[in-house]
Amino acid sequence: MGLLFFYSFRNLLARKLTTSLTAAGMSLVVFVFASIVMLAEGLEKTLVDTGTYDNVVVIRRSAVSEVQSGIDREQASIVETSPQIAIGEEGQNLIAKELVVLITLEKKKSNSPANVTIRGISENSLALRPQVKLIEGRMPRSGTSEIAAGLGIAKGFKNIVIGQTLFFALRHWTVVGIFDAGSTGYNSEIWGDVEQFMPAFRRLVYSSILFKLRKSSEFEIFKINIETDPRLTLEAKRETQYYREQSEMMAKFLRVLGETLTIVFSVGAVVGAMITMYSAVANRTGEIGTLRALGFNRATILLAFLLESLLLGLIGGIVGLFLGSLMQFITVSTTNFQTFSELSFNFRITFEIIYKSLLFSVGMGFVGGILPAFRASRMSVVEALKEN
């Protein structure tokens, strides 16, 4: 087997130009496949990481997202009395009643408008989100027209600078802080006092209620109580589950897109590999005859040429994966299909993406090389030596 591997590898090196061109075609296919799947993985991870397992999100029943939800003050007061809510160090319930709406801001690079999530926060909102860290300025004070922006918004949109003002909801709002929420969706939000946002946006209801469980095991009890209470039209989800659902539609779209493009591009790559291997068989007819004369059987010849094609696919896969892995250093922003708001996130490579990409590239090598390998193995010794 070692001799076959050496023979196949040597022949690839002997044809540097055709090997490079065919491997480049395969690496392009793997790059496209890996990049789009990494994009979907990055989106999913960003939204899932936004949530905390022991936090519970309460929204209106059948609402897909906070933007579509509405909870009036009476229902919010009933939820607030639930015994499953954790108590803070100062004896207060760790609960936050919030408002989520969308506004349009102008991007820095393209000067084009995009939807941005505005979140009205209350006193405990920051305590419920330990992943959010203030990096510049301060958080908005209650009762004021002040706002703080996530790092993703500050980098991607105009006028998001400490001291600058934004005009929306018929009022001027002063930027007083920039916060970093790591690789979570909160980096793509603007926060301000919920009691100021509600009259400004003419909203009489909250969008959601967020609270921390006293005990993680009490979630099901709270969920049953809240969803069977005849006074309420609400449903409860763990925050991690809520944000996982927010990513499903977009992530699925990206994966389907990646698979479709990969299938289209892979046809060309497989044809290229097949042409390369047929050319190799035609140019090495005499060599094949000599190998047969030395005692190598048909199966060995088939395996040698097939191994050469598999190596070609593996080389293309490794190069494509290497180029794809560089995408991790790029931050992109897109519209989340669930909320129609701008979301910034990074590409993310995983072990699953690595082995699937390499398996796919080797598969392309196999499909492209199997017919030429059969042709090489079926040559008779006499005919092959005559052509030599």
Residue 54 domain-assigned (yes or no):
no
Whether residue 215 sits in one domain with residue 300: no
Supply the pLDDT for residue 20. 77
Residue 91 burial by CB count (10 A; 0-12/13-18/19+): exposed, middle or buried?
A: exposed
Residue 79 domain-assigned (yes or no):
yes
Whether residue 309 sits in one domain with residue 177: no
Whether residue 144 sits in one domain with residue 73: yes
Q: How confident is the model at residue 182 (pLDDT cuts 50, 70, 90)?
A: confident
Whether residue 258 sits in one domain with residue 293: yes
Whether residue 270 sits in one domain with residue 375: yes
Higher pLDDT, 295 or 2: 295
Please state, for a pLDDT cut of 70, what percent of the chain lies above it: 82
Q: Which residue has the tokens 């990096």?
A: 135
Domain boundary (200, 232, 264) is at 232
pLDDT average, residue stretch 133-151? 93
pLDDT average, residue stretch 277-282? 66
Q: Which residues are paired to 172 by β-bridges? A: 167
Residue 57 domain-assigned (yes or no):
no
Residue 130 domain-assigned (yes or no):
yes
Q: How confident is the model at residue 150 (pLDDT cuts 50, 70, 90)?
A: very high
**Domain of 163, in residue numbers:** 62-232
Q: How confident is the model at residue 165 (pLDDT cuts 50, 70, 90)?
A: very high
Whether residue 173 sits in one domain with residue 86: yes
Whether residue 302 sits in one domain with residue 164: no
Higher pLDDT, 262 or 335: 262
Domain boundary (209, 232, 255) is at 232
Higher pLDDT, 104 or 41: 104
Among 1-15, 25-39, 275-289, top mean pLDDT goes to: 25-39
The predicted-structure confidence for 222-268, as pLDDT tens digits, reads as follows 999 999 999 999 999 998 888 888 777 777 777 777 777 777 777 77
Contact assessment for residue 253 and residue 334, using Cβ atoms and an 8 Å cutoff:
no
Contact assessment for residue 22 and residue 276, using Cβ atoms and an 8 Å cutoff:
yes
Residue 71 domain-assigned (yes or no):
yes
Least confident residue range of 85-94, 273-282, 367-376 = 273-282
Which structure tokens are listed for 334? Answer: 């897109």
Q: How confident is the model at residue 209 (pLDDT cuts 50, 70, 90)?
A: very high
Residue 197 domain-assigned (yes or no):
yes
Please state, for a pLDDT cut of 90, what percent of the chain lies above it: 34
Q: Which of 242, 260, 291 shows the shortest CA–CA distance to 64?
A: 242
Whether residue 336 sits in one domain with residue 282: yes
Q: How many folded domains does the chain comprise?
A: 2
Whether residue 260 sits in one domain with residue 326: yes
Question: Does the model's pTM come out above 0.75?
Answer: no
The predicted-structure confidence for 103-121, as pLDDT tens digits, reads as follows 988 887 777 888 889 999 9
Domain boundary (176, 209, 232) is at 232
Whether residue 71 sits in one domain with residue 215: yes
Residue 239 domain-assigned (yes or no):
no
Whether residue 298 sits in one domain with residue 225: no
Whether residue 266 sits in one domain with residue 204: no
Residue 375 domain-assigned (yes or no):
yes
